[in-house]
Structure 1
Amino acid sequence: MRVSGSGAGSMWLQLLLSLAALWLSDANEPGTAMTTRDINQQTRESISDYTVKGHDLSTSGSHLTTQDFKQQTEENISNLTSAVYSISIDGFSSAPVEENVILYSPANIALLCSLTGTSTDSATVNVTWKKDNERVESSNVTINETKNVLSTQYTLTIRDRNQMGNYTCVFKSDQEVKATFNLQVPQIEGKEHHVVSYVGDSVVLVCKSLKYTPINWIWYMSNGSDQVAVNDSLMPDKYIVDEKYANITKLKIMKISEKDDRSYWCQAVFKLGESKGKVSLKVLTYMTPLKPFLAIAAEVIILVAIIFLYEIYSKKKQMHAGTISCFFK
């Protein structure tokens, strides 16, 4: 059916009038008015929801396909540092072996266990890997045998703290032997030390991480069974946190009182976890060093008093004895 130019114009005019009337009726209805900001917000939310569900709203050539995402992930993994850590086990009679593996940031690592000095047929040896006592089922585990050396390797990419922990290789035949790799973040130098100061003085508590630089430092102090974060904003006239050097943190406590006699913790934050150090502060009064001296002085005074009284008693006894002897004469 054909529509003439005037008929088409009339139809479009009626459509516009209908839309205007509908818009006015919605605007007059309380609670249904929508601002431009609301529309923009709804549009963003709709786009976000649509994108999360896996749909592509971007223009041709600018969207990220599954293949692109996989390639980007592989590139990120290949950019990580790589390292191999190995433990050699001397036969089934060997005691369990452990090695600490320090990881500062995400990395590609290979854990290699070699069982040497054994003539046991490899076919009868069961080789397994465990993470924190739970068996690992992974295609990244390989087993090789060369000249009486049975080895197994577990390759993995450590991306977050949940992958840290203990990884154990287990060789089991008639006997069992195992080796454990302890994956941990760098430890703070001198994890626990003691500081002594006096009431009214100021003291500086120090923690260091010399080989590795943390992302951040956090100080805590004990409050009963709880730990309370300490920073400059807590009590600026009491605590000062010095972070001049990234691998060293200092907590200055001013106007020390007996209430400051407690434990303090410095926490180094790394990409794969945290490491804590403990500083115990002992607060003394100026009378404290005098207490042993006063105790000794008191003992001396008591001893002298006893000797003096004993001398008086002895003289009186002698005088009394002399008086009685004169009386009988």
Structure 2
Amino acid sequence: MRGSGSGSGPGSMRLRLLLSLAALWLSDANEPGTAMTTRDINQQTRESISDYTVKGHDLSTPGSHLSTQDFNQQTEENISNLTSAMYSISIDGFSSAPVEENVTLYSPANITLLCSLTRTSTDSATVEVTWKKDNERVESSNVTINEIQNAWSTQYTLKIRDRNQMGNYACVFKSDQEVKATFHLQVPQIEGKDHHVVSYVGDSVVLVCKSLKYIPINWIWYMSNGSDQVAVNDSLMPDKYIVDEKYANITKLKILKISEKDDRSYWCQAVFKLGESKGKVSLKVLTYMTPLKPFLAIAAEVIILVAIIFLYEMYSKKKQMHAEDEKEFEQIEQLKSEDSNGVENSTTRHRKV
């Protein structure tokens, strides 16, 4: 009786399970016209393991921390936990302008893109419906097309798993005319994608980038070096650059002892599971003489204007004096002429006597 009891232990059950699986596989393989695929064997194995573990037995080896059941359960949970969402665009007839919508994806997800077109009585009854990804036609069994009385609708179901599936997806309705709607699948964007910062030589400056709703996996800073981009980190120049990532959704680049060489563009790159998003910060470095330049320019203009006025006044005075001298000279000449005429008249009178 003890021998019988020991045969029902965990080791014996494991042995029986393996022997039964092998016998099952051999019997099915020997039957004419029967073929068992790897998928079927794996499925039966999972079912047998499930039946065994439900009874309270653990197939994990001594010292392991995760049983086969736990591993399978975690895998199923990871798949089931993926976000599922639907995004739709409505088009009001063929005369409508192209419609666009941005779809932000933070991580892998199952999504459905839905397009609906409302027809008018003047539209053709024949409508060709196609989907395009980045201007290339999509041939997929995940595309469905429905027609009702006054409308067409089509949907495209996608399992987004990597960055290669991101891009622009467009539904195109074509009849006598053509109209389309485009979904732009993109990763979260940086807040304030392009902004400018002004600082002075010798000061320190902090450049900031934010991702408000989503937390990136990593942040990377770059700076322009001619036509190239050079990665910036604490090890590049510790006494020059300090990267602060105290908060996961915010990154800060502190630049110490600014010089005119630091007058350039900087990029912050947020890394997500489905791609990267970049933000640009333009740093303008000024010298302390820079604020004085407008004042000096105004002062120079004032000096030049005063000099012009002074020279004009001098010229006007000289011209006035010259005019007075000419007038006085004319008066003297006129008096001399009158005196000479008087002498001549008196001489004539004496001669007549």
- Return the TM-score normalized by structure 1: 0.72
Change (3 A) 1:312 1:275: same
The alpha-carbon deviation at position 299 of structure 1 amounts to: 2.0
The alpha-carbon deviation at position 179 of structure 1 amounts to: 0.7
Post-superposition CA distance 1:231-257 (Å, at most 9, x none)? 111111111111011111111111100
The alpha-carbon deviation at position 145 of structure 1 amounts to: 2.3
The alpha-carbon deviation at position 288 of structure 1 amounts to: 0.5
| Structure 1 stretch displaced more, 168-177 or 300-309 | 300-309
| Structure 1 stretch displaced more, 203-212 or 143-152 | 143-152
- Equivalences, count: 320
CA contact 2:60–2:68 (8 Å) conserved in 1: no
The alpha-carbon deviation at position 135 of structure 1 amounts to: 0.7
Secondary structure at the aligned position of 1:110 is classed as strand
Secondary structure at the aligned position of 1:195 is classed as strand
* Structure 1: distance between partners of 2:250 and 2:311: 64
From 60, 72, 89, give the equivalent of 1:58.
Answer: 60
The alpha-carbon deviation at position 303 of structure 1 amounts to: 2.7
| Structure 1 stretch displaced more, 77-86 or 175-184 | 77-86
Post-superposition CA distance 1:134-182 (Å, at most 9, x none)? 1111111111223322111110100000000001111112221111110
* Structure 2: distance between partners of 1:33 and 1:233: 61
Change (3 A) 1:305 1:185: same
The alpha-carbon deviation at position 277 of structure 1 amounts to: 0.5
Change (3 A) 1:154 1:294: same
CA contact 2:25–2:36 (8 Å) conserved in 1: no
Change (3 A) 1:160 1:43: closer
The alpha-carbon deviation at position 265 of structure 1 amounts to: 0.6
| Structure 1 stretch displaced more, 117-126 or 180-189 | 117-126
CA contact 1:56–1:63 (8 Å) conserved in 2: no
- What runs of 5+ residues in structure 1 fail to find an aligned partner? 322-329
| Structure 1 stretch displaced more, 39-48 or 6-15 | 6-15
| Identical-pair percentage | 93
Change (3 A) 1:289 1:219: same
Change (3 A) 1:144 1:261: same
CA contact 1:77–1:157 (8 Å) conserved in 2: no
The alpha-carbon deviation at position 34 of structure 1 amounts to: 43
Change (3 A) 1:103 1:223: same
Change (3 A) 1:27 1:158: closer
Post-superposition CA distance 1:74-98 (Å, at most 9, x none)? 7654331100001111111111111
Change (3 A) 1:76 1:136: farther
Secondary structure at the aligned position of 1:94 is classed as coil
* Structure 2: distance between partners of 1:16 and 1:115: 58
| Structure 1 stretch displaced more, 222-231 or 59-68 | 59-68
Change (3 A) 1:29 1:168: closer
Change (3 A) 1:195 1:27: same
CA contact 1:122–1:150 (8 Å) conserved in 2: no
Change (3 A) 1:301 1:127: same
CA contact 1:204–1:252 (8 Å) conserved in 2: yes
CA contact 1:214–1:247 (8 Å) conserved in 2: yes
Secondary structure at the aligned position of 1:121 is classed as coil
Secondary structure at the aligned position of 1:123 is classed as coil
Q: Who is 1:46 aligned against? A: 48
* Structure 2: distance between partners of 1:138 and 1:280: 44
Post-superposition CA distance 1:100-135 (Å, at most 9, x none)? 100000000000111123458997211111100111
Change (3 A) 1:271 1:285: same
| Structure 1 vs Structure 2 CA RMSD | 13.2
Change (3 A) 1:66 1:148: farther
* Structure 2: distance between partners of 1:86 and 1:25: 52
* Structure 2: distance between partners of 1:8 and 1:146: 62
Change (3 A) 1:122 1:231: same
